[in-house]
Amino acid sequence: MLGPDGYGALKLGMSRSAALASGVLSPAKPVASDPAGCTGHDIVGHATGADSVGVYVSPTQGVVQIAATAGWRTPERIGIGASKAQVRAAYPDLVVNTNGAHASVPGNARAVYRFNLDPAGKVTVFELALAHQECTN
């Protein structure tokens, strides 16, 4: 389950050292240049591949974003393959724009869920992120 505070022992806001000590986070992997000094990681056992990142960690904010992998769901049972209507029913404040979609996280006012929707309106990617963070947009 992804949310409302994180994934298992990995929590939003957790320092890089605490996240690595949790045993859930892989060592840093190469990512595109990031002026904020953020690092990208995978969740142990859920490698995302060379061109994507499962978790972003900020040097000042700690864990700021966790991307779901296949089979993961939110506490409201939304996961990859859910329809836009299902996402909207679970998160009535869903905002859809050219960058994807986002909604507040029940039980965590500091966080948002971000969703990528395919042309048919199905979720292809979703993430739990701090609402105000410096690593990704």
Written as six digits, the tokens of 62 are: 């700690």
pLDDT at residue 2 tops 80: yes
pLDDT for position 51: 57
- 7-52 pLDDT, tens digit per residue, is 999 999 999 999 999 999 988 876 665 667 888 898 988 866 655 6
Q: How much of the chain exceeds pLDDT 90, in percent?
A: 70
Burial of 73 (0-12, 13-18, 19+ CB in 10 A): middle
Query: What's the alpha-carbon Rg for the chain, to the nearest Å?
Result: 14
Sheet holding 95-97, edge to edge: 39-41, 55-58, 62-67, 123-130, 108-117, 100-105, 95-97
pLDDT for position 36: 73
DSSP states along 6-25: EETTEETT--HHHHHHTTSB
Residue whose tokens read 């996961």: 79
Phi, psi of 109 (to 5 degrees): -65, -15
